[in-house]
Amino acid sequence: MQLLRTAKTKSSGYTVTLMLLLSGWLMIIIGSAQAASTEQETLQRLSQLRSLPADATPEQLRQHNEAMDEAWQFYHAHHDETMPVLRRELAAELNRPKPSQLLLLDVGSFLYLDGGAEDRKRALQALLAIDTQAPIVQANFDQLFRLTQGLAASGDPALLPFIDRTFLPTERGVFMADQSLTLNPTLMCAFLYGVYGLEGERRLQPKLKDPELIERVLEVLKWIGSPDSVAAVQAATPKQSDYDFFARELTFMMVNGGPQGREAMLHLDRSRLDTQSQQHYDKVKPAIEAQGYAQLRKKFDQFTGEKKLDDDQLKQRLAAMYENFGRDSRLNPQALLDSGLSKDFLIGELTRIRTRMFTQVANQTLSDIELTNAMLNTLRYRDH
């Protein structure tokens, strides 16, 4: 009887072990089948991108956008299974003689948003391979801007030639639905070049020599510029300028140019101006002459918040502002203007903060940048 019980126990152990092995293999088989099914559906959704005609009608584009929303939801829900497929298919598409422009844009966008550092490199490769003049890409111009702006935030200079040819000359705008914000061509370029800081500003300076671009560049410099561009603007000024050009020139010089900009406007050649510009110049010249630190500082009298911080506290707040993309609802600008920190240090910190602001496309960002530019220009008039 004891032998019989031992045999039964061993038999039960073998049975349990066998059942566990079978269960494990079954899970592997089911998992493999599910992975195969996920890959098949991913490939099917990608084929929909390739099949959309280049001259798609508005109704076809609407249906496509709905399908792509569903596709992204599917990719999110099966992230670990779909990412290798998307990477593989994007690499294959890049090697095709005529890649699908929509696949490059859509998969590149998803990899940028949901992937890691290597996926962002893949997204950049896809973006640079896109024919931006293709009708299907123009129909998805908002998405093209979002991907470009997101990748530009890394500061990769390889993207600047793409921005030059795609966005600087365009007359198109984009609608940022999540912010209920429409960006005109100037604001698009401000957010694209602005994330590069001084490098972005200097990238624009030679383009002032292009008569087709000079007014657009002046408009962008109003957002991202500094006295570093005063000489370039002066050198690019046409011998005869109309009021539209003069208004942009005056705005840049007085808002971003500091004392150098003011001097440039006080000593400009009045004879190059048309009649309307001459009349306006004569009207505003007393204000140009009067612009200085005390006059600019008064513009901050209406602000609330903390007006007095010691220098160490202010340094900490500036560091926090950088991390928070320029946001600080408690700090009064006068605390910064009246601090014992040198103006060169403060200008450097605010310029660094402004560069980081441009990574965030939002209505609030535009207001914050305008305030930061006002503080920067005021500091440039401070003695030390």
| 243-293 pLDDT, tens digit each | 999 999 999 999 999 999 999 999 999 999 999 999 999 999 999 999 999
Residue 60 — pLDDT band, cuts 50, 70, 90? confident
Query: Model confidence over 347-381: pLDDT tens digits?
Result: 999 999 999 999 999 999 999 999 999 999 999 99
Residues 312, 287 share a domain:
no
Q: How far apart are the C-alpha atoms of 19 and 12, rounded to whole Å?
A: 10
User: Does any domain span residue 221?
Assistant: yes
User: Does any domain span residue 97?
Assistant: yes
User: Does any domain span residue 47?
Assistant: yes
User: Does any domain span residue 230?
Assistant: yes
Residues 310, 279 share a domain:
no
Residues 263, 316 share a domain:
no
Per cent of the chain over pLDDT 70 is 90
User: Does any domain span residue 71?
Assistant: yes
Closest CA to 281 of 251, 257, 236, 239: 251
| Of residues 29 and 99, more confidently modeled | 99
Per cent of the chain over pLDDT 90 is 78
Q: Is the pLDDT assigned to residue 17 strictly greater than 80?
A: no
Distance between first and last Cα of the chain: 102
Q: How far is CA 122 from CA 80, 112, 193, in A?
A: 17, 8, 22
Residues 282, 323 share a domain:
no
Burial 199-214 (b: 16+ CB within 10 A, else e): ebbebbbebbeeeebb
Query: Model confidence over 25-40: pLDDT tens digits?
Result: 444 444 444 556 889 9
Number of structural domains, the chain? Answer: 3
Residue 24 — pLDDT band, cuts 50, 70, 90? low
Cα angle, residue 376 at apex, residues 375 and 377 outer, rounded to 5°? 95
pLDDT in the model for residue 70: 87
Residues 353, 277 share a domain:
no
Residues 317, 286 share a domain:
no
Q: How far apart are the C-alpha atoms of 259 and 2, rounded to whole Å?
A: 105
Residues 132, 50 share a domain:
yes
Residue 2 — pLDDT band, cuts 50, 70, 90? very low
How many residues would you count in the chain? 384
Give mean pLDDT, residues 94-100. Answer: 94
C-beta neighbour count of 344 within 10 angstroms: 10
Residues in CB range of 297: below 8 A, 6 or more apart: 334, 337, 378
Give mean pLDDT, residues 335-342. Answer: 94
Q: Is the pLDDT assigned to residue 86 strictly greater than 90?
A: yes
pLDDT in the model for residue 6: 39
Give mean pLDDT, residues 82-90. Answer: 96
The model carries a pTM of 0.88
User: Does any domain span residue 169?
Assistant: no
C-beta neighbour count of 51 within 10 angstroms: 10
Q: Is the pLDDT assigned to residue 194 strictly greater than 60?
A: yes
- Which residues on neighbouring strands pair with residue 183, listed in sequence order? 174
Instruction: Write out the residue range of the structural domain in which residue 103 sits.
Output: 41-148
Q: How far apart are the C-alpha atoms of 266 and 231, rounded to whole Å?
A: 14
C-beta neighbour count of 18 within 10 angstroms: 10
In the block, residue with structure tokens 């957002």: 223
- Supply the mean pLDDT for the chain: 89
C-beta neighbour count of 82 within 10 angstroms: 21
User: Does any domain span residue 257?
Assistant: yes
pLDDT in the model for residue 19: 52
pLDDT in the model for residue 13: 52
pLDDT in the model for residue 29: 43
Residues 345, 278 share a domain:
no
Last residue in a domain, options 108, 124, 148: 148
According to DSSP, residue 349 is labeled H
Q: How far apart are the C-alpha atoms of 28 and 288, rounded to whole Å?
A: 77
Cα angle, residue 303 at apex, residues 289 and 377 outer, rounded to 5°? 35
Strands (E), the chain: 174-176, 181-183
Q: How far is CA 243 from CA 33, 259, 288, 345, in A?
A: 69, 23, 17, 37
According to DSSP, residue 176 is labeled E
Last residue in a domain, options 291, 322, 347: 291
Last residue in a domain, options 117, 148, 179: 148
| Amino acid, single-letter form, for residue 41 | E
| DSSP result, 77-140 | HTHHHHHHHHHHHHHHHHTSSS--HHHHHHHHHHHHHHS-HHHHHHHHHHHHT--TTSHHHHTT
Residues 91, 61 share a domain:
yes
Residues 140, 93 share a domain:
yes
pLDDT in the model for residue 257: 98
Residues 258, 220 share a domain:
yes
pLDDT in the model for residue 367: 94
Residues 346, 323 share a domain:
yes
Query: Model confidence over 310-329: pLDDT tens digits?
Result: 999 999 999 999 999 999 88
Give mean pLDDT, residues 122-132. Answer: 97
User: Does any domain span residue 223?
Assistant: yes
pLDDT in the model for residue 126: 98
Residue 111 — pLDDT band, cuts 50, 70, 90? very high
- Which residues on neighbouring strands pair with residue 241, listed in sequence order? 273
Q: How far apart are the C-alpha atoms of 298 and 380, rounded to whole Å?
A: 15
pLDDT in the model for residue 52: 77
Q: Is the pLDDT assigned to residue 8 strictly greater than 80?
A: no
